[in-house]
Structures are given as structure tokens and as C-alpha cells.
Amino acid sequence: MDSSIQIVKKSQVFLWEDGVSSITFLSEVPTLFTTLGQIQIRIGSTLYQLSNGNVMFLRPNEPITVQYKGDIAPLVYQVGFEYYQLVEYTEEHIRYSKNHDNLPQSGWMTEFLL
């Protein structure tokens, strides 16, 4: 039996409005971002560069701004999920509870996935 499970809550491609090159929002669940271009992500006072194929993690309830420069809006993918940890396992019950303690800090990035 797995001691943790992850459940996808939201997956989407950003829809940029014409003439708008930034989006500010608050994520309610842990979220992963990736892009097929170049974007900047501001978390608090820190500005991150996210490039083609990198993946960035964001903890819930942190306001962020995603922006791009140039004439063509890049594809930006967002996957929100919930992380649950096993807290009880008996013959009668299996119980998981939401747990963000072991998740990375906002701004954590992978190397290229492509």
C-alpha cells in the first residue's frame, strides 16, 4: 500500500487575452508549471525565469504573476494537485490526510524534461 497519493485537481493551458502579457492569481492547491517558450514567474519579490521544458513547483495560497515578453504568447501548462499521506491503516479503515510538509518550496525547478 502506498503511503502517499496525489490527485490531479486542475489541469489547463493558460489562455492569454489579446494585448495582456501577464496574469496574476492565487493557486489553492500545489501546482506545477511548464512552458513551451520563455516566461517569467514572480513569487513575492523573487523573479524566476522558466524556459522551454522546465517545470516549476508552487505551494498553495501564494500569489504569483506569470508574464512573457515578445509578440507571441507562449504555451503555459498548469497542473494543480493535492497530496495525501496515509495516517491510518487497519482491517476496517484506510485513511489519508492532506499533507504539504514534504513538498518543495515555491520556485523549485527541474531541469529540462523535453
Residue 24 is part of a domain; what is its CATH number?
2.60.120.10
Q: Residue length, the chain?
A: 114
State the Cα–Cα distance between residues 29 and 26, nearest whole angstrom. 9
Question: At 106, is the secondary structure helix, strand, or coil?
Answer: coil
Q: Does 104 map to a domain?
A: no
- The DSSP secondary structure of 79-100, one letter per residue, reads EEEEEEEEEEE-SS-EEEEE--
Residue numbers of the domain that contains 75: 4-98
The answer to whether residue 86 is domain-embedded is yes
Instruction: Note whether residue 110 is domain-resident.
Output: no
Answer whether residue 112 shows pLDDT above 70. Answer: no
- Report yes or no on 55 lying in a domain: yes
Structural domain count, the chain: 1
Reported pTM: 0.84
| Residue 37 belongs to a domain | yes
The average pLDDT across 26-36 equals 93
| Residue 103 within any structural domain of the chain | no
In a domain? residue 106: no
pLDDT digits (tens, 9 = 90+) for 70-111: 888 999 999 999 999 999 999 999 999 999 998 999 999 987
